[in-house]
Amino acid sequence: MIHEVDDVLRALIRAEVLEGRQIAVVFDAPTREWAAKVNAPMVNLYLYDIREDMRRRERGLHNEYDERGAIVARRRPPRYFKLSYLITAWTKRPEDEHRLLSSLLACLLRYEALPPALLAGTLAEVGAAVPMSIALPPPEDRSFADVWSALGGELKPSLDLVISVPVTASPVYEAGPPVGDEGLRAEFGDVPAPGEGPGPTEPQPGRGALPVYGSRPGRPAREPSGPGSGSGPGESRARAVSLRITETRGTPEERPGTKTRGGGSSRHGT
């Protein structure tokens, strides 16, 4: 993965910055000993830091499908890692180094991600963009002066290039077979079984006979109510009773129909 990013950067710089000039593109650590051996113009891209880009981390699992569209496996989403490159120009004159850095900056500013046409290998297989940024302020936990101090070299003008690379290496969890409808049947409501008639019904005021909620074929039917059932005329309405309570504020003597110590009764309507 890292070597594939190196190849893309080398191809991009050679095509759009160097344009056939005899300038090498290397990835060496610019230590004091290495700098003493430089005897030809070159562009150095030193990879000095690798860390995960926590802002791009995703949760959950991604599904993998077969040719029928069924889920066959699940895996974790890609995790992005930031590759930080320290770009420096090496020539005999500082003016030439500044011109080369200017061309590098103008080239890299034109892209917010690595060009898809240059991606190969696993970077192309992922199918995701590879974001990059150039010359942003360094994180608070380090500075470029610390990098040069660790290398033991002299501080030079440089560009900081950060590339967020997706990494798909993760465990794969195989999915179980798809759930079919064989041996599974779900029924809701009072649906009669095949070959059986409808369940018990009951006449409702102003409507026809409706199924009795909660009844099933084979259950004991409810006792019928209504005319001809042997019940009184008042019992046919016993299933739908509404109660209305009227409250009148005031003293007991002022409330009409309110029971007091001397007698009387409260008024309720049904």
The lowest-confidence range among 93-107, 141-155, 196-210, 223-237 is 223-237
Question: Under 8 Å CB-to-CB from 181, ≥6 apart: which residues?
Answer: none
Question: Distances in Å between the alpha carbon of 11 and those of 15, 17, 23?
Answer: 6, 10, 13
pTM for the whole structure: 0.60
User: What is the percentage of the chain residues whose pLDDT exceeds 90?
Assistant: 30
The domain spans of the chain are: 2-50+85-171
**pLDDT band, residue 183 (cuts 50/70/90):** low
pLDDT in tens, 200-230: 666 666 666 666 555 555 555 555 555 555 5
- Give 264: exposed, middle or buried? Use CB within 10 Å, 0-12, 13-18, 19+: middle
